[in-house]
Chains A and B, each alone.
Chain A
Amino acid sequence: MTHRSAGVRPTHLSADYVVVGSGAGGAIAAAELARAGARVALIEAGAWRQPQDLPHSILGTFGATLDQWGVSITRGRALWPIVQGRAVGGGTVVNSAIIVRTPADLFERWSSELGIDGLADAVWAAQDEIEAELEVGPTQPDQLGRHNALALAGAAAAGYPSHPTVRATPGCAGAGTCLQGCRRGHKRSADLVYVPQVLDAGGWVLSNAPVRRVLVQGGKAVGVAGRFIDPITGRPGGTFRVDADKAVILAASAAHTPTLLQRSGVRHPALGEGFRAHPGTTSFGIYPDPVDMVQGASQGWASTAFRTDPGYKLETLSMPPELVAGRLMGGGKALVDRLAAYRHMACFVVGIRAESVGTVRAGWGGAPVVRYTLDRADMERARHAIWTLARTHFAAGAEAVVPGVVGLPYSLGPDQVDRILQASLDPRHWVAILSHLFGGAVMGADPQRAVCDPRGRVRGVRGLLVVDAAVIPSNLGVNPQHTIMALSRTFTRRLLEEGA
């Protein structure tokens, strides 16, 4: 037996390496170690769902694959949801599998500001390999659907470059349900690509197994401990303990890795600091003809034309009616009347390359508490972004745009687009979510300012590594999965070299 889940009996295992979290960072690290012949235990808080077991409904998605049922929120000026995967495969199960290579300017910034050198070539080489493993390719014309095609045409008419997204979804049928996970198995998520490699090599996978703490003895990480939970009801089951002869590798995400370190008694002045995100918000266009935005790839269009100035990226997003119902303003008949235009709506989204910095700390019961508020400069980026999106909608032929900011009219016509430039900059007047998270246990050369060294090793504890988004010391301005996977592979290879 190599996969154990939700057991009621106490479980005690021993491995060379224990990897906590099976998302973008964790699964690839575990596979790398297993392929090198090490005994590996991969431990995941969420359930393991085969593609055919993925939910159809959004409520089912909340329960089956999202952390804290999708309702953990930032504390700060505004309460914004933090959306993360919680399943074998982590965020890669529910994300849109958009793959973007790490831009060179990031390595330059990390080198000059944080003393992190020698990463670029290794990360890019890993990205070459990962792109082949995930069968990455551009969204094909027949996968776009009208939704993404409108965005492409709108951007061209508005005069800025954009492209069909490059994704890890070979054979995508354009079902537009990436957020619920791909029931057709077209998404090359970590649970389908890397986790099986761990099992094939004789490693262990524990699911429904949230690690409570890392066990540290004599300044060295020696294992992890926790208690299984029932995948449906969340009720606690038996305890588990997994000993690590060589190292414990953390990849529980930017929200959970820092808090796991805190719960485990790791002390460092920068632990929980440096939390960052790409907050995302939406702009709906209302078109004369039906768009049917859930037909076509969920996120088949993107533009990075504004990544460095003013600092945001643009994408499409297929939103099912269950979510649009909560997103549009108002209630009662007014709201249902607005929803009557659903088939004519296209949803464009922005991810703000925010420079604002927050904190993540273990709160009541050890759960992460994220304090985070966007400053004025970031809110100006957000405002500029929804203005660009509105112009894109109109250039694509929309009759009206729903900007979704309190203080602006519910919808604007083409001659009113500049009113967006007067929109409030108070985060409370905006609805946004955080799904690209970074930091909390950042890497860097300065032992005081960085929890991890530039190889991901936690300072002050031997045999403890961080290989997920928590280690990333800045925003990226591009989708993070590829960078996280390649950093993880790089750190894991360096760990194996050290061991050898």
Chain B
Amino acid sequence: MRWILTRAMQAFFPHTDALPGLAEEAAHAHLDRLDAEAPLLFRLGLIAGALAFTLSPLLTVGLPLPSLWLSAERLDLHADRAASHPLYLYKMLIFTLKMNAGLAWGAQDQVRRALALAPLPPDPRTTLAGEVTP
């Protein structure tokens, strides 16, 4: 499943001449964090989006194949068309995938550097947990 998720996320943010794409490690770091912290519904939404994306090239590029078997050009077209598909519920499932991929993509140091933004330090945890007097 991890493999399907990372491939689907990366399809939305490939490397281009102008900007870096979504690196595999960044996709894994995002998914690791979701596994540890996100509510079940959030994770299920992403899984449903990734499965819908993987199984639907017939809807977008007319090929009865999983997206994992598409050529790079076809995969790119599939991602673009899936994100704007007229079937609303399908598009919303794809949106959960694209939103997650976008969160992981935009948080990468290389991307932020290319956009003249400082890298993001690791997120802190709350120090006011447990039984404490602030």
With A322-B105, A326-B103 known as contacts, the answer to whether A208 contacts B117 (CB < 8 A) is no
Write the nearest CB–CB distance from A42 to chain B, whole angstroms.
Answer: 13
Give the chain A neighbours of B41 by CB distance below 8 A: 68, 71
Is B131 in contact with A49, judged by CB distance below 8 angstroms? no
* Residue of chain A at shortest CB distance from B36: A233
Give the chain B neighbours of A343 by CB distance below 8 A: 115-116
Q: How far is the CA of A5 from the CA of B111 in the complex (A)?
A: 37
With A6-B130, A64-B123, A294-B117 known as contacts, the answer to whether A322 contacts B107 (CB < 8 A) is yes
Is A323 in contact with B106, judged by CB distance below 8 angstroms? yes
With A325-B105, A326-B95 known as contacts, the answer to whether A55 contacts B19 (CB < 8 A) is no
Q: Which of B87-134 contact A (CB under 8 A)?
A: 88, 92, 94-96, 98-99, 101-107, 111-112, 115-117, 120-134
| Contacts A/B (CB < 8 Å), 28 sampled | A1-B132, A5-B129, A5-B130, A47-B126, A53-B124, A57-B123, A59-B30, A59-B33, A64-B126, A69-B38, A208-B129, A231-B129, A233-B37, A292-B116, A325-B13, A325-B102, A326-B95, A326-B99, A326-B102, A330-B83, A332-B75, A335-B12, A335-B79, A336-B14, A340-B16, A340-B18, A343-B115, A428-B88
Q: How far is the CA of A290 from the CA of B117 in the complex (A)?
A: 12
Give the chain B neighbours of A4 by CB distance below 8 A: 131
Q: How far is the CA of A57 from the CA of B101 in the complex (A)?
A: 14
Is A326 in contact with B98, judged by CB distance below 8 angstroms? yes
Q: Which of A186-245 contact B (CB under 8 A)?
A: 199, 207-208, 230-234
Is A232 in contact with B125, judged by CB distance below 8 angstroms? yes
Q: How far is the CA of A325 from the CA of B103 in the complex (A)?
A: 8
With A63-B38, A326-B103 known as contacts, the answer to whether A48 contacts B126 (CB < 8 A) is yes
Q: Which of A392-415 contact B (CB under 8 A)?
A: 406
With A322-B103, A326-B103 known as contacts, the answer to whether A337 contacts B126 (CB < 8 A) is no
Q: How far is the CA of A222 from the CA of B97 in the complex (A)?
A: 45
What 1/0 flags go to A296-326 for Cβ under 8 Å of B?
0000000000000000000000001111111
Contact among A55, A63, A68 with B124 in the assembled complex (CB-CB below 8 Å): A55
What 1/0 flags go to B19-37 for Cβ under 8 Å of A?
1010000000010010011
A339 within 8 A of B: yes
Is B128 in contact with A49, judged by CB distance below 8 angstroms? yes
Give the chain A neighbours of B112 by CB distance below 8 A: 321
Is B130 in contact with A325, judged by CB distance below 8 angstroms? no
Give the chain A neighbours of B96 by CB distance below 8 A: 71
A52 within 8 A of B: yes
* Residue of chain A at shortest CB distance from B15: A336
Write the nearest CB–CB distance from A76 to chain B, whole angstroms.
Answer: 12
* Residue of chain B at shortest CB distance from A72: B41
With A57-B123, A59-B33, A322-B105 known as contacts, the answer to whether A333 contacts B14 (CB < 8 A) is yes
Is A321 in contact with B124, judged by CB distance below 8 angstroms? no
Give the chain B neighbours of A500 by CB distance below 8 A: none
Q: How far is the CA of A92 from the CA of B115 in the complex (A)?
A: 29
Q: How far is the CA of A292 from the CA of B115 in the complex (A)?
A: 9
* Residue of chain B at shortest CB distance from A4: B131
B82 within 8 A of A: yes
A496 within 8 A of B: no
A416 within 8 A of B: no
A376 within 8 A of B: no
B66 within 8 A of A: no
Is A330 in contact with B80, judged by CB distance below 8 angstroms? yes
Is B125 in contact with A3, judged by CB distance below 8 angstroms? no
B4 within 8 A of A: no
Is B123 in contact with A331, judged by CB distance below 8 angstroms? no
Is B107 in contact with A337, judged by CB distance below 8 angstroms? no
With A5-B130, A49-B128, A207-B128 known as contacts, the answer to whether A332 contacts B12 (CB < 8 A) is yes
